[in-house]
Amino acid sequence: MTSDLQSKLPEGAEFIKQRSDGSLEVPSQPAVGFIEGDGTGPDIWHASRLVLDAAVQGSYGGARRIHWVELMAGEKAYEQTGEHLPAATVDNIRELKVAIKGPLTTPVGGGFRSINVTLRQVLDLYACIRPVRYIPGVPSPVQRPEAVDMVIFRENTEDVYAGIEWAAGSAEAAKLITFMNDQMGTKLDREAAIGIKPMSKFKSQRLIRRALDYALGRGRESLTLVHKGNIMKFTEGAFKDWGYELAAQEYAGRYVTEGQEIALGQVVVKDRIADNMFQQALLRPEEYAVLATPNLNGDYISDALAAQVGGLGMAPGANIGDEAAVFEATHGSAPKYAGLDKVNPGSVILSGAMLLEHLGWLEAAEKIAPALSRAILAGEVTYDLARQIPGAREVACSAFAQRVAEQL
């Protein structure tokens, strides 16, 4: 434990500890990290903190309380330290075990490494978990948004997101292309950009194991392996095969495959090719409960599903590993709205509900989505919702959070 972090803790705050079986030992007044984020991040975070604190207070009185500890990342960190992701922040998340963050800006191109991806990799937050469920009152572009109730488990550390790539015309790309053409029989354009798509049995199966445990623990009826194995047979095809192999080896009697009769306490394990899954999500969403996906597929499908229930502004997410968990906004930082107290804080509010659930504080966690829905149905909402809901009145981000807190 670093003295630096110890000095940041508010009076009365205690560290969350991890038991030998991996479960958390959460004190009544835990220290939890937060990163405000860039652009609209500070507005969103302050609004979300109001709601989360109100949910805890309303559920437990003064018996439980979260002590929030600020951690530096993004533009604010760069201004203060010259680094976008200081090593101390990574160390502090490891020690605190749990953190939440607003959106962080990643410029397109230019070799700038995504802070979000870096956090996932250095902390080994291998499971990106995104529950997608309709909240009554939110405008949706589809006729039956209430039919969508899925949880996506996206592998977070491999696939093309591993960041193993070289620019077109670079010496590194030329060297690899020459080797591939001369030694492996490929016919790559010698001026091509090139990337590597690694996928391993161990990392695929630990993600699928977490998804299976979730489905069985929550009584969800199916786990679907989403892949593009018809084309990428040795990477995405292997992901599918490794999933079925894991189920057979570790979950005998607790699962069936598609077409078999299911018994109480079992889950159906099935698979879908990624492009077909997009169609299935629109036409037959009620047939899918938990999805396990490689990295890129999960990125696409989670955003597409979020659109069906109203967009990323109301989409929560978490990146969870065996030793730390970071809950986050799933949308971007929207810098043109920075400091205007304007944007929808719903994504971070709902990610905070996931954080409370992760702590085991279910009474507080389960209050938040219904309160959010009641606030929206009452008709005083942020601009993104107001322009879509006839008769709604636009209010500021902070005012909307206050309305949600009042509904608690």
Transcribe 119-132 into DSSP letters. Answer: HHHHTT--EEEEEE
- Name the DSSP class of 142: S
Name the binding residues.
105, 114, 116, 120, 130, 154, 299, 331-337, 344, 383, 387
> Which of 60, 197, 198, 205 is CA-nearest to residue 126?
205
> Which of 345, 350, 356 is CA-nearest to residue 316?
350
Name the binding residues for NADP(+).
105, 331-337, 344, 383, 387
The catalytic residue positions are: 161, 228, 275, 299
CA distances to 58, 88, 238, 315, 378 from 371, rounded to whole Å, are 12, 36, 43, 16, 11
Name the binding residues for D-threo-isocitrate.
114, 116, 120, 130, 154
Name the binding residues for Mg(2+).
299
CA distance 216 to 214: 6
Write down the H helix ranges in 218-328. 236-250, 274-283, 295-308
Q: How many other CB atoms are found less than 10 A from the CB of residue 196?
A: 12
Partnered with residue 39 across adjacent β-strands are none
Partnered with residue 328 across adjacent β-strands are 101, 317
